[in-house]
Structure 1
Amino acid sequence: MMKIKNIILKVSVTLSIAILMSCETSETQTVATLTNLVWADEFDTNGAPDSANWNLLTGDGSAQGIPGWGNNELQTYTDRPENVTVQDGVLIITAKEESFDGKSYTSARITTKGKLDQQYGRFEARIKLPAGKGVFPAFWLLGDDANGSLVWPEIGEIDIMEYLGDEPTTVFGTIHGPGYSGANSITKEYQILQDRFDSGFHVFGVEWTPNRINWYVDGDLYNSITPEDVNEETGGAEWVFNRPFHIILNVAIGGNLPGAPDSTTVLPQRMLVDYVRVYN
């Protein structure tokens, strides 16, 4: 597999956008204003993901007190190379159908918790997504738990990219917090035209500042949320995006969202990650 790096960063693209839900505006926003690279993994060394950057979670969430990882998912995560490895400059997370530790599916979930926990910045990754009913990859941020005194959704969650494998032209960006979590989360979709997210690499990112989170795909700004938007949408819920967050990459199978695989689902499926970069 030959790796092609996307070196040219889109840091000055501007668009007139409609902000989430009823908060429409003609204000012109900048996709990326934070350009000081402070952390990156280019996945240039074959083998396991760099342990200086990543933790490899295992199990079905039961050990963390959240069986099914909070979404009634069907997989167990492993640290085996069959599920997570770096080859030829690309991180590969593979979801498989197999009997393992009492589950019928395996996959991988990696995080930077304790290795990169950052408050504010531009977080982006270049990813080729898998496909298939019940396949649920994500690139997201989870808030610090303040030494165990806070739990989800009080800690906050920023979903940079989530995607349903049977809807290969659509991704969505979401936030979860107290009063706007789960089915009541604040979210917006992005639909690609004349292409599919499983047919090639695309850049997914957010730029997160104290008073705004912007989402973009390939330099196209499609979602922007402020504390005022959260207050208006929820009737006064707290903006909790004011603490360090860490990065998570995973491929789930089944769950409340997106539902179980069916007869059309072909496994294994792979999510390929060319790089992950963080700027401030």
Structure 2
Amino acid sequence: MTNNYLNAAALLLASTAVTAEVIRPTGSTAGQVRWQEQGNRSDDFESGSLNPSIWQNAPASLNVGAWTFDPSNAYVSNGRLVIETTQETHTRAFQDSCWDGVAGGSSQTVQRQLFYKSGAVRTSAEGVYGFYEAKIKGVEMFPGLSPAFWLYSDGHPFGDRNQPGQYVDYSEIDIVELQQADWRSPTDVDDQFDMDHNLHARVEENGQIVWKRPKQNPDQLLHYRAPFDPRLGFHTYAVENRPDRITWYVDGKEVGSQVNKWWHRPMHMIFSQGLRRQLIKYNAACQRADPNPDNVVSAGFPNQARMQVEYVKVWKAQPSVWIEQPNQYQSTSYSNTGSMDVTVSYHGGSDYFVSNDTYNGITLNLIEKNANGLVRVVKSVNDASTTTDAKKYAGDTELTINLSGVTPTAQLPSGHFYALAPVFKSSNGSIIYAQSAVADIKITGSNTGNVSVTGVNLTPANTSLSVGSTKQLNASVSPSNASDKSVYYYVDDTRVASVNNGGLVTAKKQGTTRVTVTTNDGTFTDFTNVTVTANTTTPPAESGIEDASFESGNLNRWNKSWGNVSVVSNNAKSGSKAVYLNGSGGAVQIIAVEPNTTYTLKGWGKVSAKGQNVQMMAKDFGGSNRTIKFTSTAYTQKSLTFTTGSNNTTAKIIFASGNKAFKSWGDDFSITKQ
């Protein structure tokens, strides 16, 4: 029997760590979300000029509107980015698909007369998920110009245009568009207090690429009327793009949120200033905004036509967990005959989420500490629903701790106290603790009649079962009259076996693992070694690879993966999901095999363009590595065989690309014994 304290060292480190002050988004609170600044898209404009390692000035691809973006119209002055609009009559070559007055025809190059120039700068680097914030002052002139801070994808049509699933050709998130003077209705025209935070996309529907615009799609439209005039001072405008939601902020206050349906493309960050009402006019026949030769205004340019940006910051949220308003728990006394309701907040991280491994969601521990750190975990409760797709990225959960039998604070040894310590396992493999535990929790009541747990014994100590079979484990808590005899179980390697709350083990595939039982009172533990053997009564399964079709939606079973690899809800060979390599990266899984045995590995793969390739491999099985390549833009199935060595019980299965410019997909892997 092994009676010890669960994760004592790790909890000790987490609860005693001191975090230095860091720069974080406006409105966020220290000690909650951990933020990591992204230097390739952040700038305070103190260098005296545009930083060429960050910014591209007036990229040519943006010159498609009724004005011209010119590099001289965007510059740094007095520690601020300035984007100004000037009245300059000029001509510019224009690919006109409405040269004959009919929209949608073949284009011709025409020399178009334009009347204004403006500025635009975008980041060289692209990004997807994260928090984007800038401090901006609008232009004095109104109406006619629209200072804008936004994200957009470039390089469309992308190489995966003809692939199955709903294709997204273009993604755009408008963090803010100021002073647009737009029309909400024929009798409702925006003034300078109205601002837009909208979503645009171009997607495939029924074989056609169609625009998804905000006014036609209310779930992409967010209009906000500010309590200030953006022309008169600097204010912060921000958006957080998460895999599940997109949320906008003004001066640190949330002003709206939408479900993230199509905004998963890598996007540039951009500041620009475009023309609006009175300086352009709508051409209904061509379905576009055209120059307005009937109203060419020069007064106020450029002195009243300069937007300014004091700074821009981009952060990635790191996996985080915390308890908001800790004072309410520290200032309340809780009876040991009742319970304690605690709201735990969490953020899975910009690129990660709450895993169902180890803690199976968000866990809250009531711990006993002293000056040296953790003494023991007294009570523990978790919420497994925080691992579901609807909740795993971020949110709050209310957890109830049963305080029955907990020793009152006044009866603890001198210098001992209680604290609340939330924790979860991240999809990046890390155990995530709060930056600081909520200390000095007061438990009242009598300890009379309470019998503390002193240990637990799990039997049998070793067990062997075949794939697909089950085994009941028995946990005996000591002493027999302990007040709280409740326990919980977990398994080290969920690929080999699983265990339910009652201690029933189910064998999943060949291998060895350990099942641990833990008491809620005192967190004493014991374990059983589990060996899973092949089921000789049934033929070998078509797939001995866990989550071989990626239908779980994550890479938990492919836990040796690396690089730019993810599971996507498109381009599946079967089902609804596939693995996606956006450049160099690999999906990797270690599987159980038998010594001196020949196996056939099969899989489906494809690449985004001709000339690219992606590899399927078998390694570390006791012989020379085996590799085969996929080179087609349509799914094809490939197979390879390998024979294990005399002492090998595992092999490494890999689907990988080493080229950062290649994009590829894989699905439906399987392995069979010959």
Settle same-fold status: TM greater than 0.5: yes
Task: Could you tell me which runs of 5 or more consecutive residues in structure 1 were left unpaired when the two chains were aligned.
Answer: 1-6, 14-31, 228-238
d(CA) in 2 for partners of 1:140, 1:184: 20
Match of 1:126 among 135, 153, 165: 135
Deviation at 1:213, TM superposition (A): 0.5
Q: How does 1:5-16 map to 2 (within 5 A)?
A: 9-12=25-28
Query: Residue 132 of structure 1 contacts residue 266 of structure 1 at CA under 8 Å; is this kept in 2?
Result: no
d(CA) in 2 for partners of 1:191, 1:46: 34
Query: Is the strand fraction higher in 1 or 2?
Result: 2
Query: Residue 157 of structure 2 contacts residue 169 of structure 2 at CA under 8 Å; is this kept in 1?
Result: no
Residues 19-74 of structure 1 deviation map (CA, whole Å, 9 limit, x = unaligned): xxxxxxxxxxxxx9462212211101223x11111111256956xxxx32xxxx3x
Query: Residue 180 of structure 2 contacts residue 195 of structure 2 at CA under 8 Å; is this kept in 1?
Result: no
For the residue of structure 1 that corresponds to 2:71, the secondary structure is coil
d(CA) in 1 for partners of 2:147, 2:290: 10
Deviation at 1:176, TM superposition (A): 1.1
Deviation at 1:262, TM superposition (A): 7.3
Other-structure match for 2:175: 160
State whether structure 2 residue 192 is matched by structure 1 residue 181: no
d(CA) in 2 for partners of 1:118, 1:134: 31
d(CA) in 2 for partners of 1:279, 1:8: 8
Opposite residue 12 of structure 1, the aligned amino acid is S
Match of 1:251 among 232, 256, 273: 273
Other-structure match for 2:87: 97
For the residue of structure 2 that corresponds to 1:41, the secondary structure is coil
Opposite residue 144 of structure 2, the aligned amino acid is G
Q: How does 1:169-248 map to 2 (within 5 A)?
A: 169-177=193-201, 178=203, 180-181=212-213, 183-185=215-217, 186-193=220-227, 195-227=228-260, 239-248=261-270
Bigger drift between 53-62 and 99-108 goes to 53-62
Opposite residue 120 of structure 2, the aligned amino acid is R
Q: How does 1:98-113 map to 2 (within 5 A)?
A: 98-101=88-91, 102-112=113-123
Relative distance call for 1:36 and 1:187 in structure 2 (3 A) is same
Other-structure match for 1:135: 145
Other-structure match for 1:46: 48
State whether structure 2 residue 110 is matched by structure 1 residue 77: no
Relative distance call for 1:60 and 1:117 in structure 2 (3 A) is closer
Relative distance call for 1:127 and 1:141 in structure 2 (3 A) is same
Deviation at 1:204, TM superposition (A): 0.4
Structure 1 ranges of 4+ moved more than 6 A: 150-153, 261-265
Relative distance call for 1:46 and 1:149 in structure 2 (3 A) is same
Q: Which has the larger radius of gyration?
A: 2
Opposite residue 44 of structure 2, the aligned amino acid is E
TM normalised by structure 1 equals 0.72
Task: Could you tell me which runs of 5 or more consecutive residues in structure 2 were left unpaired when the two chains were aligned.
Answer: 1-22, 92-112, 162-166, 182-190, 204-210, 283-288, 317-674
Other-structure match for 1:230: none
For the residue of structure 2 that corresponds to 1:156, the secondary structure is strand
Query: Residue 77 of structure 1 contacts residue 106 of structure 1 at CA under 8 Å; is this kept in 2?
Result: yes
d(CA) in 2 for partners of 1:202, 1:259: 31
d(CA) in 1 for partners of 2:291, 2:34: 37
Residues 182-224 of structure 1 deviation map (CA, whole Å, 9 limit, x = unaligned): 642511111122x200000010000111000000100110110
Other-structure match for 1:267: 301
Other-structure match for 2:383: none
Relative distance call for 1:182 and 1:215 in structure 2 (3 A) is closer
Bigger drift between 124-133 and 249-258 goes to 249-258
d(CA) in 1 for partners of 2:290, 2:89: 21
Query: Residue 133 of structure 1 contacts residue 262 of structure 1 at CA under 8 Å; is this kept in 2?
Result: no
Deviation at 1:180, TM superposition (A): 2.2
Relative contact order: is structure 1 or structure 2 higher (C-alpha 8 Å, sep ≥ 6)?
1
TM normalised by structure 2 equals 0.32
Superposition CA RMSD, Å: 3.0
Query: Residue 154 of structure 1 contacts residue 240 of structure 1 at CA under 8 Å; is this kept in 2?
Result: no
Deviation at 1:119, TM superposition (A): 1.8
Relative distance call for 1:223 and 1:258 in structure 2 (3 A) is farther
Query: Residue 123 of structure 1 contacts residue 205 of structure 1 at CA under 8 Å; is this kept in 2?
Result: yes
